[in-house]
Structure 1
Amino acid sequence: MLTRRHILVAAAAALAAPLAPRRIWAGTSLAFGGMRIDTLSDGHLVLPVDFTFGDLAGDEVAALLARHGMPADQMTPPCNVTLLRDGTNTVLFDVGSGPDFMPTAGKLAEALAALDLAPEDVTHVVFTHAHPDHIWGLLDEFDEPLFPAAEHAIGAVEHAYWTDPATVDTIGEARATFAIGAARRLEAVADSIRLLEDGEEVLPGLTARLTPGHTPGHMAFELRSDAGAAMVVGDAIGNHHIAFERPDWASPSDQDPPLAAATRVALMERLAAEGMPMIGYHLPGGGIGRVVKAGDAWRFEEME
């Protein structure tokens, strides 16, 4: 049976001193079989509207933003890091931005501490892809790997792309720092990294699924037991508005927009047909919900 709940957690230090200012972390939890999934907030990004909407007609963008209660001048997508615990393994899917990307993000360490977890408790770090808001949190303030006891895993195609010296010159000027930062971080964990192929079992009940387009080797991860299933989709479904209402739209936020659109449509169709819960990195409410068919498109429905 699938169960999902909202969690509201106070930092341990605040519990010890009730009158002290408290940092509250809101998130969501999903459990089935022996698996428990929590989403942890790494904060949020601040992006210009055209980063996602590109050349889409202004009146259509305005109407969509209004329908979803969003401001017209900027976007502030949340960053939901997925934590999986199965009684043996403690797995993080992506690691957030760290301190060097945006001041509104990079809060994962605080979120882990609120659950009484330390980086040393993490046994596996699994990357959907190597954009800054997903991988730059890999190193600490001394440029050492933040999760010293963990095995790190990333798609083989994704790893080859970001470690190719030619990428910095072909990715485009706006993303050149993405390539430099990803290569440096992947090099730092080169001795503990596992390269994944499409369909490979990462751990029992955890399977890698190639979902390219947002980046060349982007992967989603399917979690399955006799009691249910869910999918960590990363940025293959990157928001709760245009990705659902116009999933075939080529967005400039994707590195290969046509391929990303085709991947998104196929993923939506599968998730909706199977009723499989999903966890999206930039989706609201902690990111856990379902894809529901809505006419010729879909909508994101947070799970109750």
Structure 2
Amino acid sequence: MLTRRHILTAALATAAGPMLPRRLWAGSTLTLGGVQIDTLSDGSLVLPGDFILGGMPQDEMAEIVARYGLPTDQLTPPCNVSLLRDGANVVLFDVGSGPDFQPSAGKLAEAMEVLAISEEEVTHVLFTHGHPDHLWGLLDEFDEPVFPAAEFVMGQAEFDYWMDPATVDSIGEARASFAVGAARRLAVIADVVRLVADGDEVLPGIIARLTPGHTPGHLAWEIGAGGAMVVGDAIGNHHVAFERPDWASGSDQDGAMAAATRVALLERLAEGGMPMIGYHLPGGGIGRVERAESGYRFVEA
């Protein structure tokens, strides 16, 4: 198994001249036998601190966050879309935000262009969950799927939740637009999406793992029988989620359930030394979990 960090550079149109800025993408690569996983930047989010940190013991939380050099009033987590290639399949785990969520995100197409991978080459899209930064990049400006040749895979419980007309009224006013946006996008693929359950092997060596709480049917994806785990938002940051995984986070729809899921998942990852890929973790998101004096720590690859 080999891990390495790389910097992807996308130049603007050559004809525009050398003085225009260039976009730098920080990513990482994980190689598992004949499988290569690259993380691609979809940009970053701009969130009020309370969206993640609200409801936690504030003094202890502030001390933890300060050790990571971060403010508590606003957070800008990165968005790491994972791309798996095994010689036969080109698999995306989530599709980013698209253009309709936040201007700082929705950059997946640019990152794919750097790797010279077209949307038409993607064979499968495996969703962790239906939040905007993971799902809203599904459709183009004509409401057609951005990845026309791909098979779409989502957990049955997650799909049912977002397609339930009652969700928009029960999810809370702050997230009502999440429900409307998810239902509109999922309706386009409703007749073709493959719905799976915990433990299903959706492709050779890729197994769905139910990790609920952040959303009701959130899935992580285990690759290669313990080779790596794409955790989505089951572990949502590299600071309080690791040091105090038992704390409920404002970003989770069911805080108590998400905390129990997070504790169990971190313990499994630390026990087995399994590499993990986190959607909102730094350095491209690939790393390992280590036990710390209090809680755990994220160690970048």
TM-score (norm 1): 0.95
In the TM superposition, residue 56 of structure 1 has moved relative to its aligned partner by 2.2
Alignment of 1:151-166 (within 5 A): 151-166=151-166
Contact preservation (8 Å) 1:11, 1:115 = no
SS at match of 1:215: coil
Q: Which amino acid aligns with 2:4?
A: R
SS at match of 2:227: strand
**CA deviation digits over 1:126-173, x for unaligned, max 9?**
000000000000011122110110000000000010001111111111
Rate the CA distance shift 1:54–1:129 in 2: closer, same or farther, 3 A: same
Q: Which amino acid aligns with 2:3?
A: R
Q: Which amino acid aligns with 2:223?
A: L
In the TM superposition, residue 16 of structure 1 has moved relative to its aligned partner by 9.0
Q: Aligned residue for 1:133?
A: 133
Q: Which amino acid aligns with 1:195?
A: L
Q: Aligned residue for 1:145?
A: 145
Q: What is the distance in 2 between the residues matched to 1:44 and 1:67? A: 21
Q: Aligned residue for 2:244?
A: 246
Q: What is the distance in 1 between the residues matched to 2:210 and 2:15? A: 45
Rate the CA distance shift 1:59–1:13 in 2: closer, same or farther, 3 A: closer
Q: What is the distance in 1 between the residues matched to 2:109 and 2:147? A: 11
Q: Aligned residue for 1:188?
A: 188
Q: Aligned residue for 1:42?
A: 42
Q: What is the distance in 2 between the residues matched to 1:298 and 1:141? A: 42
In the TM superposition, residue 250 of structure 1 has moved relative to its aligned partner by 1.0
**CA deviation digits over 1:235-288, x for unaligned, max 9?**
000000000011000112101100000000000010000000000000000000
Alpha-carbon RMSD: 1.6
Rate the CA distance shift 1:300–1:15 in 2: closer, same or farther, 3 A: farther
Q: Aligned residue for 1:119?
A: 119
Match of 1:287 among 285, 288, 293: 285
SS at match of 1:286: coil
Q: Aligned residue for 1:232?
A: 230
Is there any run of 5+ residues in structure 2 with no aligned partner, and where? none
In the TM superposition, residue 12 of structure 1 has moved relative to its aligned partner by 6.8
Q: Aligned residue for 1:263?
A: 261
Alignment of 1:5-20 (within 5 A): 5-11=4-10, 19=18
Q: What is the distance in 2 between the residues matched to 1:184 and 1:121? A: 25
Q: What is the distance in 1 between the residues matched to 2:69 and 2:137? A: 30
- Off by >4 Å, runs of 4+ in structure 1: 12-18
Q: What is the distance in 1 between the residues matched to 2:29 and 2:14? A: 21
In the TM superposition, residue 23 of structure 1 has moved relative to its aligned partner by 2.4
Contact preservation (8 Å) 1:12, 1:113 = no
Q: What is the distance in 2 between the residues matched to 1:211 and 1:167? A: 20
SS at match of 1:272: helix
Rate the CA distance shift 1:140–1:64 in 2: closer, same or farther, 3 A: same
- Higher mean displacement: 60-69 or 121-130: 60-69
SS at match of 2:177: helix
Q: Aligned residue for 1:109?
A: 109
Contact preservation (8 Å) 1:51, 1:252 = yes
TM-score (norm 2): 0.96
Q: What is the distance in 1 between the residues matched to 2:13 and 2:114? A: 10
Alignment of 1:88-107 (within 5 A): 88-107=88-107
Q: What is the distance in 2 between the residues matched to 1:15 and 1:71? A: 38
- Higher mean displacement: 275-284 or 52-61: 52-61
Contact preservation (8 Å) 2:220, 2:231 = yes
Number of positions where the alignment pairs a residue of Structure 1 with one of Structure 2: 300
Rate the CA distance shift 1:191–1:12 in 2: closer, same or farther, 3 A: farther
Q: Aligned residue for 1:278?
A: 276
In the TM superposition, residue 58 of structure 1 has moved relative to its aligned partner by 3.0
Identity level (%): 68
Q: Which amino acid aligns with 2:8?
A: V
Q: Which amino acid aligns with 1:6?
A: R
